[in-house]
Amino acid sequence: MEIVILVSLLSLYCDFTDAECLVISPARLVVKYGDPASSNCSSDTPVEMGWEATQGGVGLTDNKVKILNWKVDSVTDWKIKPTCFTDGGQCQKELNITVYKLPDSVSISYRKYPDPMVEGHQYLLQCLVQNIAPIGRLRVTFYKVSTTGEQTELDTQQKSKDNINTPENGTYTLDFTPGRDDDGAQLLCSAMLDLGPEGPQPPPVMDSNRLNTNVHYKPQITSPGCFSMSITEGDTLSLNCSANGNPAPSYDWLLPQADPNTMEERSVVTITNMAKSHSGEYTCIAINPLGNSTCTVNVEVTVDYLPIFAGLAAAVVVILLVISCFTYSSYYKHRRMGHYQLKDVLPRRHKNKHVVQHNRMDQSFM
Ligand SMILES: *[C@@H]1O[C@H](CO)[C@@H](O)[C@H](O)[C@H]1NC(C)=O
Ligand SMILES: *[C@@H]1O[C@H](CO)[C@@H](O)[C@H](O)[C@H]1NC(C)=O
Ligand SMILES: *[C@@H]1O[C@H](CO)[C@@H](O)[C@H](O)[C@H]1NC(C)=O
Ligand SMILES: *[C@@H]1O[C@H](CO)[C@@H](O)[C@H](O)[C@H]1NC(C)=O
Ligand SMILES: *[C@@H]1O[C@H](CO)[C@@H](O)[C@H](O)[C@H]1NC(C)=O
């Protein structure tokens, strides 16, 4: 109960003193350097009042007034603090004013060593914002824009320098370790001056230049992969050992044997008319100044037995045909001869011996 009364009394007292004291309207100003500014100081009861300021100051009024205006055509003092006061300084109020300036430039760079960027190395990205005020209200964001146009936020930074009103150069840094996927991506930083609801809406944003990244990385073989395969004798072998790398890799092949049928062209090796002796390991080496990547394909040359079987089968059929032909013809001949024998034997017996002899000769010719 007592506490409630005390609080009520306190608030009454405060209201009373507030009522007696000065009110500044608008109480807060956000002004661009060089722009005009104006605010009113008012009192419920007429008083002699004045504005103390490095620009647009107004001396104590001769008469008692209820309102006194402060006005400047061009604010050029970064630390301006217009203060409204009454006679004798019993009461005084300060205008909350922020003088701002957009940056002259926003630029991004990186510590160039080694240059160009190498995969896995750490680089220091630096965003330089020149001539900005107040620097404590500046938010700097680093972005990465991939080759497909996708924008990723890397980091956002803000310096806690609320006491600095004059223009400053701000340096914002970020450690960046590029991967091979970052090759061709762009880096940029963006400076946003957020001055609150009284400031310009939306808050002004200034982007830096875009830094094109060229990320070097060692080769990595993407095709055909390392595997084992078999190929039929006489066929053509073609292996494509394609690798990605920056700079573009050169290729080397280690083959089981040197051969005039072999043709190497960059990532592709072609051997026509494969022989059994071509079996073995085919090793591809993709090389660039950052390193190498190897891949071995095991090739086994097999003989295709199908045509041999077909040939053999055909030969067997031919032989069988020939044999059956001869067998048939000899049997047929034998029977015909027997018939003639009978015919001839009956009328001419004396010729029998001769015929038998002839017959014997025929058989021996077979
Ligand atoms: C100050 O008060 C005058 C008179 O009431 C008014 O015309 C003027 O717009 C006010 N200025 C500001 C900045 O509020
Ligand atoms: C001025 O206004 C801003 C925003 O309302 C506030 O953050 C800041 O503390 C004020 N400054 C003073 C000196 O009162
Ligand atoms: C900011 O950088 C510019 C160019 O380097 C220089 O002329 C200027 O004096 C610097 N300002 C401050 C506040 O250091
Ligand atoms: C080898 O493979 C790469 C990647 O798959 C492809 O771009 C290239 O055209 C191929 N080369 C040949 C000769 O097939
Ligand atoms: C490939 O790289 C290895 C180390 O990773 C190195 O020892 C070898 O000499 C390199 N080979 C070639 C052909 O550059």
Q: Does a structural domain hold residue 309?
A: no
Q: Please give the DSSP secondary-structure letter assigned to residue 60.
A: P
Helix (H) or strand (E) holding 149: none
Domain region containing 231: 218-302
Token representation of residue 341: 């024998």
Same domain? 290 vs 331: no
Task: Tell me how far apart the terminal alpha carbons of the chain are, to the nearest angstrom.
Answer: 148
Q: Is residue 307 part of a domain?
A: no
Q: What is the mean pLDDT of residues 81-88?
A: 93
Ligand 1 geometric centre to CA of 69 (Å): 7
Binding-site residues, ligand 4, Cβ < 6 A: 223, 240, 242, 267-268
Q: Are residues 254 and 286 in contact, defined by beta-carbon separation less than 8 angstroms? A: no
DSSP string, 316-365: HHHHHHHHHHHHHHHHHHHHHHHHHHHHHHTT-GGGHHHHHHHHHHHHHH
The answer to whether position 27 is within a domain reads: yes
Q: Is the CB of 90 under 6 A from ligand 3?
A: no
Q: Which of 302, 322, 340 is the last residue of a domain?
A: 302
Tens digits of per-residue pLDDT, 43-84?
999 999 999 999 999 999 999 999 999 999 999 999 999 999
Domain match, 318 and 252 both: no
Q: How confident is the model at residue 331 (pLDDT cuts 50, 70, 90)?
A: low
Q: Tell me how far apart the alpha carbons of residues 75 and 86 are, in angstroms, rounded to a whole number.
A: 24
- The finding on whether 169 has its CB within 6 A of some atom of ligand 3 is yes
pLDDT for 352 equals 44
| One domain for residues 88 and 46 | yes
- Answer whether residue 245 is part of any domain: yes
Say whether both 280 and 318 belong to one domain: no
Q: Which helix (H) or strand (E) holds 151?
A: strand 151-158
Say yes or no to pLDDT of 259 above 90: no
For residue 308, being part of any structural domain is answered with no
Tokens standing for 214? Answer: 């060229």
Q: What are the pLDDT digits (tens) for 5-37? A: 444 444 444 444 444 589 999 999 999 999 999
Domain end among 188, 213, 238: 213
Is the pTM higher than 0.95? The answer reads: no
212 within ligand 3 shell (Cβ under 6 A): no
- 109/178 same-domain check: yes
40 CB under 6 A from ligand 1?
yes
At 20, the amino acid letter reads E
Same domain, 160 and 116: yes
Q: What is the pLDDT, as a whole number, of residue 73?
A: 98
Mean pLDDT of the chain: 85
Instruction: Find, among 8, 68, 73, the residue nearest to 41 by Cα.
Output: 68
- On whether both 209 and 109 belong to a single domain, the answer is yes
pLDDT for res 12: 44
Task: Give the pair of three-digit tokens for residue 29.
Answer: 């100003």
The answer to whether the beta carbons of residues 82 and 52 sit under 8 Å apart is: yes
306-345 and 352-365 are packed helices; what angle lies between their axes, rounded to 10 degrees? 180
Question: What's the CATH code of the domain at 258?
Answer: 2.60.40.10
Residue percentage of the chain with pLDDT more than 90 = 66
d(CA 82, CA 96): 8
| 20 belongs to a structural domain | yes
Q: Degrees (nearest 5) of the Cα angle 92, 96, 99? A: 135
For residue 92, give every residue at least 6 positions away whose Cβ sits within 8 Å of its Cβ, in sequence order, or none.
Answer: 22, 83, 84, 85, 86
Cα 173 to Cα 13, 127, 188, 261, distances in angstroms:
52, 6, 12, 58
Q: What is the DSSP letter of 58?
A: B
Please give the pLDDT value at position 18. 46
Lowest model confidence (mean pLDDT) among 60-64, 112-116, 244-248:
112-116
Domain boundary among 181, 213, 245: 213
Domain identity same for 225 and 206: no
Same domain flag for 55 and 94:
yes
> Closest Cα to residue 326, out of 334, 316, 338, 315?
334
Whether 212 is in the pocket of ligand 1, judged by its Cβ within 6 Å, is no
pLDDT for residue 307: 66
Same domain, yes or no: 157 and 250? no
Same domain, 332 and 318: yes
In this structure, of 7-11, 168-172, 191-195, 307-311, the range with the lowest mean pLDDT score is 7-11
User: In terms of domains, do 201 and 228 share one?
Assistant: no
* 343 has a pLDDT exceeding 60: no
Is the pLDDT confidence value at 327 over 90?
no
Share of the chain above pLDDT 70, in %: 82
Residue 308 alpha carbon to ligand 2 centre in Å: 98
Q: What is the CA radius of gyration of the chain?
A: 52
Considering every ligand atom shown, identify the ligand nearest to the alpha carbon of residue 265 and give its number.
Answer: 4
Give the total number of structural domains in the chain. Answer: 4
Q: Which atom in ligand 1 lies closest to the alpha carbon of residue 39?
A: 13
Question: Does an H or E element contain 233, and which?
Answer: none
Task: Give which of 166, 87, 172, 88 is closest to 129, Cα–Cα.
Answer: 172
CB-ligand 1 contact for 36 (6 Å cutoff): no
**Exposure b/e, 200-216, CB count within 10 A at least 16 = b:** eeeebebebeebebebb
